[in-house]
Chain A
Amino acid sequence: MSSRDQILKKLREAPQPFTEVAPIPEQRHMVPLTDTSPEALRSLFVENAEKLLCVVQQPQDTEEAIEAILALIGTDKNVTAWDFAHIPLPGLPEALDNTGIAVAESNDASVRVGITGAATALAATGSLVMVNRAGQASYQSLLPEVHIAVLTPDQITTDLEDWMVEQRQQGLDRFRESSNTTIVSGPSRTGDIAMEIVMGAHGPAELHIILLPD
C-alpha cells in the first residue's frame, strides 16, 4: 500500500475527533471597521501603511506623482518596472525616457529601484496585495532596495477577509490562475538579532506608496 493510502487509512480508522465543536454563527473580522466609505478607507490605509514604516505620498496630480518618483530614483541610470499598462500613472514611461532612465530586465538584482502597481490595497492593515501575473512579476517588488508602488484610491478595499470573499465571488479560479499572491505589509524587516528591528533584511528596505488623487 502506498504511503498516501496508508496515511488516509489510519486517519479514517481513528474515531472522528471534535464532532461536538459548534460552528461559529458569524465570522468576525480581525479588525472591526465601522466606517467603510472611500474617504475613511483611504485615510485608514495611509495611517496603517505609515505604521508599517511605508512612506506614503499623496500627490495632487499625475505630474507631481511623476516628480516624486523621479526624485526617489535620483541619479540612478536604470530601474526595474512592471509593464506600464499595469502601473496606473500615464506619462511615466515617457518621463523616465526623457530623464535618461532605462528600464532594466525585471530580474536584474543590481538595480536599486523597482516600480510596480498593486492588485489591491487593504485599509485595515495598510497592506498591498501583489498578484503575480503576466507583466506583473514578483521581482520588481522583491529584489531592489527601494520599492515604489503606485496606487489609485479605488484600489483600496477593507481587509483580507473581504478580499477573500471577493475572490470566492469570482469563483476562486481567478485567484488560482496566479502562481503566487503575496500580501506585502511594509518594507522587509527582521528582529532576529537581539530583537532589534532592522529594515531590509532580504527584500526592499524602503517601500514608497504613491497614492494618486481620485
Chain B
Amino acid sequence: MKVNANNFVPAVKDNLQKDDVQEAVHYATKLAYNKRLGSMFEYGKEHGEGLRQQAAEAKRRALRNLPDLLEKAEANMQANGIEVLWAADADEANRMVVEIARQTEAELIVKSKSMATEEIGLNAYLEQNDITVVETDLGELIVQLDGDTPGHLVTPAVHKSKDSIRDLFVRELGMEPTDDAEEMTMAARRHLRKIFLNADMGISGGNFIIAETGTVCLVTNEGNARLTTVLPKVHVAIVGIEKLVDTVDDYATLTQVLPRSAIGQTMPVYTHMLNGPRRADETSGPEKVYVILLDNGRSRIYNTTYTEALACIRCGACLNACPVYRIASGHAYGWVYPGPIGAILTPLFTGLENAKPLPHASSLCGSCYEVCPVQINIPAMLLDLRRDLVKEGLSPQLWDWGMKGWALAFSKPGLFTAGGTAARLGTGLLGQNIPFAGAWTNSRDMPEFADKSFRQQWQERQKGSTDEQS
C-alpha cells in the first residue's frame, strides 16, 4: 500500500471539516473505550492489570525466542499437513498468492479481514492479475465497495455513516433503500453467501500462530472467517512472523485479552484454531492449506530499539483511547496502521522520512500505554522517534533553530532572563499576533505572561522572608 503519512496535517484539517466522520469516529471510539474498561477490569483492576502483565510477558517471551519459535512452528505446521512458505517482502508474498491461485485455477477468492494483506496491497495485485477477490467482513466489504481503505484496525468502516452505507448498498448491491442496519446487514449476507458458495480459494490473516502445535488462530464475530476457512477447497493464511506464541496456555491468555481490549467483548463469537487441511475421515474443510510467513520489514525492526512494537496484537485499543486519533481518524495516518501504534509502525515499516509528522501526532498523554493489553510503551517510542527525526536531520529547520536558541539561553542566565523579559513585553505589545505561532493562536488563545518572572518573585520572596526573620 502507498504511504501518504507526510500529508498528516492537511489530512487532519480536512477531516475536521467532515462532521459525519467526526461524529461517527467519536461515537465508536468512546463506546469501545468505555466497554474495554468495564471488560478488562470486570474482576477488579488488580486482576485486569495482572492479565496485561501476563499477556505482555507471553508476547515478549515469544519475541525473545522468535527464530527458534519460527522453526518450531514451521515443523509443527508441516506435521499438521500445512505447506509453509516464507516471504521476505510484499512482492514475494503477492507473487506466492497468485502462484497458488494459478495452481488452484481460482477465479473467485474470498477474503477474511487481514491487516497483513492490506500492508502488502494484495487485493490490488490480485486484480492486476485478473483474479477477483471479495472482502467478506462487513466493514471491509463496505470499504471495498466504496473503493476506500480501512479507517480502523478492528472496525474498518468506523468512519462511514449509516446514510452513506445505505446509499452505497443501494448503488452497489441493488438493495431497496432502508435506514435499518439489520436490513442492510441482510443485504450484505445474501450478496456474500452466493460468493462464498462459489469461491475456489479463501485468504485470511492470522491473529496468532501457536508454535508448539502448529495452529493458526483467528477471531471473528460475523462468521466470515469460518466460511472462508471451511468452504473453499484451498486456504491461504498470510501471517506476520511476529504473530508467534509459544504455548497453548499463552494463546488462551492472549486470545481473551484481545476481544476485551478491542471492544469490551468477553469472547469473539468465533475463535478459530486451524490445524491444517481436512483429514481423511473429515467431511468439511479445505483440501489444501498454505501459511505464508511474512517478514516485510519485521526482521529489520527486530534489530532496532523498537522491537517492542512487534508485540502488538492489533486490538485497536490505543486508537480508541487516543484524543488525536479521535479527531484525525484513520486515513490521516497515511498507511495501513493508524492511531498511536500506527504512528510507530508506519515510520518503522516505511521509513522515518516518509512519516515525519507521525511521531508528533500525539500529546504524549499516555492513554495508549495505559490501555495496551501487551504494555507497549508507545509514548516512550514516539519520543525516541522524535529524537531520531532530529538526529537524521528530518525535523523542520525552524525547530532546529528554536532548539539551538533554547540551549544557548539555558546555558547563559543573563540571556535566559533577557528572553523572559522580552517575552513578557513582546506578548503584551503583540497580543495574539505572535510571529511563527499562527498555527497555535489561530485556534487557541495565547496565554498572558505573568507580570513578574518566577526568578523575580522568588528573589522578592526570599528577601521578604529574611526581613521577617530579622
Contacts and interface: CB of A to CB of B under 8 A. Distances in A.
Do A and B truly interact? yes
Interface of A: 2-4, 6-8, 10-19, 21-24, 27-28, 30-32, 48, 51-52, 106-107, 109, 125-127, 132-135, 137-139, 142, 160-161, 164-165, 167-168, 172, 175-196, 198, 200-204
B295 to A, nearest CB: 5
Given A32-B43, A196-B162, 14 more contacts: A3-B295, A109-B193, A165-B249, A179-B277, A182-B271, A185-B269, A185-B271, A188-B222, A188-B270, A192-B138, A194-B161, A194-B181, A200-B186, A201-B188
A58 B204 CA distance: 38
A117 to B, nearest CB: 15
Nearest to B279: A179
B416 interface: no
Interface in B245-268: 248-249, 251-253, 255-257, 260, 263, 266-268
Contacts of A52: 266-267, 269
Q: Which of B43, B260, B266, B278 has the most CB of A within 10 A?
A: B266
B282 A198 contact: no
Contact of B27 (A15, A31, A195, A200): A195
Q: Which of B248, B260, B307 has the most CB of A within 10 A?
A: B248
Nearest to A193: B181
A10 B285 contact: no
Interface string B349-389: 00000000000000000000000000000000000000000
A203 B165 CA distance: 21
B155 A191 contact: yes
A10 B222 contact: no
Contact of A7 (B86, B138, B276): B86
A174 B47 CA distance: 32
Contacts of A27: 54, 249, 253
A44 to B, nearest CB: 12
Contact of A178 (B136, B181, B248, B279): B279
Given A193-B157, A201-B138, A202-B136, A179 B70 contact: no
27 contacts: A4-B86, A10-B299, A10-B300, A14-B299, A17-B63, A17-B64, A17-B308, A18-B63, A18-B307, A23-B61, A27-B54, A27-B249, A48-B266, A125-B267, A126-B266, A175-B248, A180-B229, A181-B275, A182-B272, A185-B268, A187-B269, A188-B223, A191-B221, A192-B155, A192-B157, A194-B24, A195-B155
B434 to A, nearest CB: 42
Interface residues of B, number: 97
A138 B270 CA distance: 12
A182 B285 contact: no
B252 to A, nearest CB: 5
B468 to A, nearest CB: 53
B461 to A, nearest CB: 46
A139 B284 contact: yes
B302 interface: yes
B413 to A, nearest CB: 41
Secondary structure of the A contact surface, majority rule:
loop
A185 B252 CA distance: 15
Given A19-B64, A184-B270, A192-B138, A107 B87 contact: no
Contacts of B267: 52, 125, 127, 183, 185
Contacts of B284: 106-107, 132, 137-139, 180
A19 to B, nearest CB: 6
B86 A2 contact: yes
A182 B270 contact: yes
A165 B261 CA distance: 24
A175 B213 contact: yes
B130 to A, nearest CB: 26
Interface in B151-180: 155-157, 161-162, 165
Given A27-B249, A28-B54, A189 B269 contact: yes
B412 to A, nearest CB: 41
Contacts of B137: 192
A181 B24 CA distance: 36
Given A137-B284, A165-B249, A11 B213 contact: no
B239 to A, nearest CB: 13
A171 to B, nearest CB: 11
Contacts of A30: 51, 252-253, 256-257, 260
A202 to B, nearest CB: 4
Interface string B50-72: 11011001001101101100110
Interface in B410-454: none
